[in-house]
Chains A and B, each alone.
Chain A
Amino acid sequence: MGKKILICDDDRDIVEVTSLILRDDGYEVKAVYTSDNILEEVKEYTPDLVLMDLRVPRKGGEEATKEIKQDKKTREIPILVFSANHEAVKISKEIGADGFVSKPYDIDIFLEIIKHSIK
C-alpha cells in the first residue's frame, strides 16, 4: 500500500495532473477543492502528507494549515505549501508548514521533495 497524499487545491487541472504524477510514482491521492472541512477530511483520510494551496476557497490555505497543526491528532502530518505565491516560502514558515513546493514545479524535483518530506 502506497503512502497517502491529500491535495487541497481548487484548480482542477493542477489537481488532476499532480494526482496523475503522484499516482504514477506509487502514491495514493485524494483531492479536496475547498478548505471548509479540512480538519475532518484529514482525520478521516489520515494522509502521510498534505499539499496545501494558499488560495484555496473559503478560509484559505493559511488558516487550514494552522488548524491541522493545532490539532493533537493531526499536527504530526507534514504539510507542504503548494503555491504560486511569490511569498510562499515566507508564509510557509510563518504558518508552521513543513516545506513548500512552488508552482510551476519540475516533476523530478517535486517528487524528490515529496519523498524527502514523508520520511
Chain B
Amino acid sequence: MRFDIYKLQRFNFVLDTVSEGWWDNNFETQQVYWSENLFKMLGYDRKEDFITMEIFLTYVHPDDSESLAVEFERCVKEDIPFEYELRLRHANGKYITCITRAKGYYDDNGKVIGYAGLVTDLTERVRQETLLRESNLRLEYLNKFGKALSSQHKVEEIVNEVTDVATKASGAEFGAFFYNMVDEKGESYTLYKVSGVPVEKFSHFPMPRNTEVFAPTFTGEGTVISDDITKDPRYGKSEPYHGMPPGHLPVKSYLAVPVILSDGEVLGGLFFGHSEEGVFNDETAVLIEGIASQASIAIENARLFTGLELSEANFRMLADSIPEIVAILNKDANIEYVNKRWYEYTGLTTEDLKANKGRERIHPEDKDRFLKNYLNSFKQGKGLEMEFRFKRHDGIYRWHLIRTVPVKDKEGNIVKWVSASTDIDERKRAENRKDEFLGIASHELKTPLTSVKAYMQLIQKEIEKKNDDKLAQYVEKATNNIDKLSQIISDLLDVSRIQSGMLKLSVSRFNFDELLDEVTEGMQYTSYNHEIYLKQKSGAYVVADRTRLEQVMINFLSNAIKYSPKGGEIIVRADVSEGKLHFSVQDFGIGISDENKKYVFDKYFRVQAPVEEFSGVGIGLFISSEIIKRHNGEVWVESQEGEGSTFHFKIPLISDYG
C-alpha cells in the first residue's frame, strides 16, 4: 500500500489545531512522526517530521523507556489500543508527565500497519491531583493533631509537640518555636523549643530580636517565606551581626509563621530553616499556618485550664487556712465540698462525708431544730444562721455558729449554697460565765438590800405613828431608791442576756386572764393613790413565757404609776384578734413628746423632764420590748404630752419560739 502523504497532511493540519501533540508510528516505513504540537509541548523547535523509534526513546525518561517499549509491543501483538503514562524530557532538562493513547491502523487486508495516538500533558492535572490528595491528607492530619493537642493542658508539652511535628511536616532541617510567657509578677519573658538539632546549637545565641526579618513574625503581621533568606532585602540590616551570628546553623530556605491567640495577642512564632535553597513553598506555609492555629487554640485552652486550676488551688488554700469549717452544697442541698477543717474537726473520711456521717455529729437535742431550719432555708431560698452543738473527733460537743448563704446565677437562680461554721464554744462559755457571775452578783447585792429595805419600811411605819412628816418624806425617798437599786440589779442581768442573745424563753400554755388578775392585783398594792382598772379581759390561753410576760406587764404598769404622779386611773385592757393577744396599759399622766416617742424602747432611754421626780425607768422598756420581740410580737406607744400614754404589746397566741 502506498503511503498517502496528502491524506496525512490534511489530517495533520486538523490535529495541529488542537493543543495536544500527536504521533504516528508506521511499521511499514519504520518511521515515527511527531506533530508540531508535540515538539512545542516539550519545548523544542520542530526538528524533523520523522524520527526513528530509537530517537524517540531518547526523549523518554530512562525509567520509563523499557517498559514503554514492552507495553507497546504487547499491544501491537494483541492488536489492542495502547495507553501509557510516561515522562518525556523537556528542553529545560526536566521531565514532564504525559499520557498517550493510540490505536492501530490497517491495510486493505486488515493487517496492522501502524499505530497513531495523542499525547496529553499531565503535569498540571497531576499537580492538581497531588495537591488535592495532599491537602486532604493534611486536613486529616491537622485534625488528628488538633485533637491530640487539645487533650494537653500544659503549655510546654504543647509547644514541644508543635515544634517537632511542624519541623517534620515542613521538611525543614531544623525548627524552633519562640513563645512569650508571663510570670507570676506579670512580667513577660520568651521561651523556646528547638527541633531537628540539639538545643546546645541554639542555646548560646541571643533571642531573636525585632529585626526586619523577625519583625513580621513577632508582630503577628504574617508568614515570611523565602527561598534564600540571605538574598532577602530585609536580611543583614541589623547590628551587630548583619545576618546570622557566627556559628549559626546555615539557613537559606526560611519560613516563619506567627502564632496568634484569638484576642490578637501574638504568642510567638514558628521558625524553620534549611541549608538548601527553595525548600519551602506556599503549600508548606499553608500547612504550618494550620499547625500554628491549632497550637494557638491548644495553648489558649491550656492557659484557661491552668487559670482554673490556679483559682481552684487558691480557693482551696484559702478555705483550708481559715479556722472555720466550710462546705459547699449543690442546689439540692447535697454536700459537694468541705474544707480540711471539716476533716480535722470531725475526724471523718471522704467516704464518711459521702455517707452523710457528718449529720450524725449534730447533738441529738439540736438535730431536729437543725434539720428543720435547714429545710426551711432551702425551701425559701433564704440564708440561715443558727447555733448548734457539733461533735468533735474526740467525742466532745462544741457550740458552733453556722451561716449558710445561697449563691445565685445572673438570673437569680440558686446554683449553690456556701456554708461556714465557726466554733463559738469559748464564746458560749464566756457568756455562761458572765451570766453566772452576774447571777451571783445580783444575788449577793440583793441580800443586804433585803435587810435595808425591811428596816427602812419598819422605820417608815414608826414615823407614821409619830406624825413626823419631814422624816417620813426622807425615809420614803430612801425606800424608793432602794427599789430603784433593786430594779437596776435585776435589769443588769436581763440586759446582759439580751446582748449576748441568751434571753431564753421558758414557754408554757396558760390562762392569760389569770396572769392579768395577779399582775393588776399585785400592782395595786404598790400605789395607794392610783386606781388600776381592769377594763377588759382576753378570755384567751397563750403559749408564752409566763414570767417574762408578767415582767413586761409589771414594767408597763409601774411606768404608768411613775409617770402619772398625781394619781388617778390606770386602764388595763386585753383582747384577742386575728390570732394575736393584745395588751395595753393607759395612764393619764405627763405623756411623752413626739420627739421622744421613737426612743422610749431604746436602751438607757429615760423621759427627761423633770429628772428628780421620774428618774429610774432606765432599761425596763428596752427589756420589755426585747421580751416581746422574742415572742415574735410587737410593742408600741401612743402618747400625748400632758394627757398621758398608752403602752401596747401584741403577741401571737401560739408561736414557734424554736
A22 to B490, CA, bound (A): 26
Q: Which positions 419-470 of chain B face chain A at CB distance < 8 Å?
A: 439, 442-443, 446-455, 457-458, 461
Q: Do B446 and A84 touch (CB < 8 A)?
A: yes
Q: Which positions 74-111 of chain A face chain B at CB distance < 8 Å?
A: 83-86, 89-90, 103-109
Interface size of A by Cβ–Cβ distance < 8 Å? 23
Q: Which residues of A contact B482 (CB under 8 A)?
A: 104
Q: In chain B, what residue has the closest Cβ to A10?
A: B447
A109 to B450, CA, bound (A): 14
A13 to B452, CA, bound (A): 9
Q: In chain A, what residue has the closest Cβ to B490?
A: A86
**B208: interface (CB < 8 Å):** no
Q: Do A11 and B447 touch (CB < 8 A)?
A: yes
Q: Which positions 55-70 of chain A face chain B at CB distance < 8 Å?
A: 55
Q: Which residues of B contact A18 (CB under 8 A)?
A: 454
**B493: interface (CB < 8 Å):** yes
**B135: interface (CB < 8 Å):** no
Q: Which residues of B contact A20 (CB under 8 A)?
A: 458
Tell me the smallest distance from the CB of B525 to a CB of chain A, in Å.
5
Q: Do B458 and A21 touch (CB < 8 A)?
A: yes
Asked, given contacts A55-B443, A84-B446, A86-B493, whether A105 binds B451 with beta carbons under 8 Å apart, the answer is no
Q: In chain B, what residue has the closest Cβ to A15?
A: B451
**A44: interface (CB < 8 Å):** no
Does more than half of chain B's interface fall in helix, strand or loop, or is it mixed? helix
Asked, given contacts A84-B446, A85-B443, A90-B506, whether A105 binds B547 with beta carbons under 8 Å apart, the answer is no
Q: Which residues of B contact A90 (CB under 8 A)?
A: 506, 547
**B526: interface (CB < 8 Å):** yes
**B31: interface (CB < 8 Å):** no
Does more than half of chain A's interface fall in helix, strand or loop, or is it mixed? helix
Q: Which residues of A contact B458 (CB under 8 A)?
A: 17, 20-21, 107
Interface size of B by Cβ–Cβ distance < 8 Å? 25
Tell me the smallest distance from the CB of B626 to a CB of chain A, in Å.
15
A16 to B442, CA, bound (A): 22
A21 to B459, CA, bound (A): 12
**A118: interface (CB < 8 Å):** no
**B522: interface (CB < 8 Å):** yes
Q: Which residues of A contact B439 (CB under 8 A)?
A: 85-86
The 8 Å CB contact of A14, one of B442, B450, B506, B547, is: B450
Tell me the smallest distance from the CB of B162 to a CB of chain A, in Å.
80
Tell me the smallest distance from the CB of B490 to a CB of chain A, in Å.
6
Tell me the smallest distance from the CB of B584 to a CB of chain A, in Å.
24
A13 to B482, CA, bound (A): 17
Q: Do B490 and A105 touch (CB < 8 A)?
A: no
Tell me the smallest distance from the CB of A104 to a CB of chain B, in Å.
4
A50 to B232, CA, bound (A): 120
Tell me the smallest distance from the CB of B529 to a CB of chain A, in Å.
15
**A112: interface (CB < 8 Å):** yes
Tell me the smallest distance from the CB of B514 to a CB of chain A, in Å.
15
Q: Which residues of B contact A103 (CB under 8 A)?
A: 446-447, 449-450
Q: Mark B505-546, 1 if CB is under 8 A from A, else 0.
A: 010000000000000001001100000000000000000000
A16 to B448, CA, bound (A): 12
Q: Which residue, B439, B450, B455, B547, has most C-beta atoms of chain A within 10 A? A: B450
Q: Do A104 and B442 touch (CB < 8 A)?
A: no
Q: Do A107 and B447 touch (CB < 8 A)?
A: no
Q: Do A17 and B506 touch (CB < 8 A)?
A: no
Q: Do A13 and B448 touch (CB < 8 A)?
A: yes
A17 to B454, CA, bound (A): 7
Q: Which residues of A contact B442 (CB under 8 A)?
A: 84, 86
Q: Which positions 475-508 of chain B face chain A at CB distance < 8 Å?
A: 482, 486, 490, 493, 506
Q: Which positions 555-586 of chain B face chain A at CB distance < 8 Å?
A: none
The 8 Å CB contact of A17, one of B455, B461, B547, is: B455
Q: Do A14 and B457 touch (CB < 8 A)?
A: no
Q: In chain A, what residue has the closest Cβ to B455?
A: A17
A105 to B448, CA, bound (A): 12
A11 to B444, CA, bound (A): 11
Q: Do A84 and B450 touch (CB < 8 A)?
A: yes
A20 to B451, CA, bound (A): 11
Q: Do A104 and B446 touch (CB < 8 A)?
A: yes
Q: Mark A14-35, 1 if CB is under 8 A from B, else 0.
A: 1011101100000000000000
| 5 intermolecular pairs with C-beta atoms under 8 Å apart | A14-B450, A84-B442, A84-B447, A84-B450, A108-B525
Question: Residues on B close to A: CB < 8 A?
Answer: 439, 442-443, 446-455, 457-458, 461, 482, 486, 490, 493, 506, 522, 525-526, 547
Complex A-B, nearest 4 residue pairs according to Cβ-Cβ distance, in ascending order: A84-B446, A104-B453, A103-B450, A13-B451
